[in-house]
Amino acid sequence: MTTTRAFADEAASSPTTPIVHLENVGKSYGNVHALRDVTLAVRQGEITCVLGDNGAGKSTLIKIVSGLHDYNSGTMSVNGQARHFSSPREALDSGIATVYQDLALAPLMSVWRNFFLGNEVTKGPFKVLDTATMKRIADEELTKMGISIPNLEQPVGMLSGGQRQCIAIARAIYFGAKVLVLDEPTAALGVNQSGVVLKYIVKARDAGLGVVFITHNPHHAYLVGNHFVVLKLGRVALDTHRADITLEQLTNEMAGGAELEALSHELRGIDAGAVVRPTGKAGPIESPLEKHD
C-alpha cells in the first residue's frame, strides 16, 4: 500500500531552520530579470504570504521552488542543503507540493481517483488497483479535514473551485508534504468559497506544514498569514511578520501607496465624468436609437 513519502533530509531540519530558504536568488529569461536578489525563508507551522502585482515575479518564484525552473544566481536550500531541482518530481520528493489554481486536479476523474492520482494503491502480484482501499482512505482523509463531499464517485469537474482546492490540499497533506505552495488559491473564488479555502490553508499550517500562499489579495493574506513578503518588479519590497504590520499598511504597500499618490496628483484636473465623443468634443452620448430627421 502507498505510505507517506519519506524525506531524506528531514533530520537536518530544526524548528528554527527554514524548510525552504532562498538567499539572493536571481532568475532571468534572456535579458528579462524576473527575480533579483530574492531572499525568502519558509518555516514549518507558518503561513508565508507572497504578494505582488502582475509581473512581480510570483509565478517565477513558484516555478523555482516547485522544480519547474532552475535559478541563475543565489542559493535555494531545502532543510539546510543547497538544491537545484531538475523536475517537479524532485521537489515533491523533497516534500514540496504545489497546488496550481487551474491544474490542481483532473476534472473528468472521480474524487477518490484524483486523491490518489500518481500515487495509486495496488494489490497482488499483478498490481491491480486497490479501489476499495483508495475509496476508504480518500473518504477518511477528507472527513478528517472536515471536507464534506457526499459522493466520492463524482467527477471533480462537477465540484466548486473551492472544493477542488481543498481536495488538492488534503491530498498534499496526506502524501506527506512538508511545504505546501498555493498558487493564487482564492483568485477565482467568491467570498464564501475563499473563506472555506482559507480555513484549509490554516489547517495545513496547524498540521505543521510550511505554507507558501501566493496571492495579490492583501485581505486574504492578512486573514491567515504569519509572514508577508511583497515582490515588486522581481525584488523583495517588504518582508515582515504579522506583529509588525497592520492590514491597512499591507494593503497600502500592495496598492503602491507612493505610486498611487503620484498618479492621483497627475490625474487631478481630469474630469472623470466627462465623455469624449469620437469628434473629440465632450458632451452627452447620443443613443444609437435616437431618431434624426
Ligand X SMILES: Nc1ncnc2c1ncn2[C@@H]1O[C@H](COP(=O)(O)OP(=O)(O)OP(=O)(O)O)[C@@H](O)[C@H]1O
Strand order of the sheet with strand 81-82?
32-42, 20-29, 73-78, 81-82
C-alpha cell at 106: 483532473
Residue 57 vs 225, nearer CB to ligand X: 57
C-beta of 9: minimal distance to ligand X in Å?
27
| Site mask for ligand X (CB under 6 A), range 56-95, x = bound | xxxxx-----------------------------------
Residue 34 vs 152, nearer CB to ligand X: 34
Stretch that binds ligand X, among 28-36, 138-146, 239-247, 284-292 (CB under 6 A): 28-36
Q: Within 10 A of 181 (CB to CB), how many other CB atoms are there?
A: 25
Give CA separation, 42 vs 19, 22, 48, 229, in Å. Answer: 6, 9, 6, 11
Please tell me whether residue 29 binds ligand X under the rule CB under 6 A: yes
Please tell me whether residue 32 binds ligand X under the rule CB under 6 A: yes
C-beta of 290: minimal distance to ligand X in Å?
42
**Site residues (CB under 6 A) for ligand X, limited to 158-177:** none
What is the β-pairing status of strands 128-129 and 227-232?
Answer: unpaired
Residue 159 vs 214, nearer CB to ligand X: 214
Which residue from 3, 16, 31, 54 is in contact with ligand X, where contact means CB under 6 A?
A: 54
C-beta of 100: minimal distance to ligand X in Å?
12
CB 34 within 8 A of CB 28: yes
Q: Within 10 A of 130 (CB to CB), how many other CB atoms are there?
A: 18
Cα gap 74→76, rounded to integer Å: 7
DSSP line for 160-215: -HHHHHHHHHHHHHHTT-SEEEEESTTTT--HHHHHHHHHHHHHHHHTT-EEEEEE
Residue 54 vs 264, nearer CB to ligand X: 54
Q: Which residues bind ligand X (CB under 6 A)?
A: 29, 32, 34, 52, 54-60
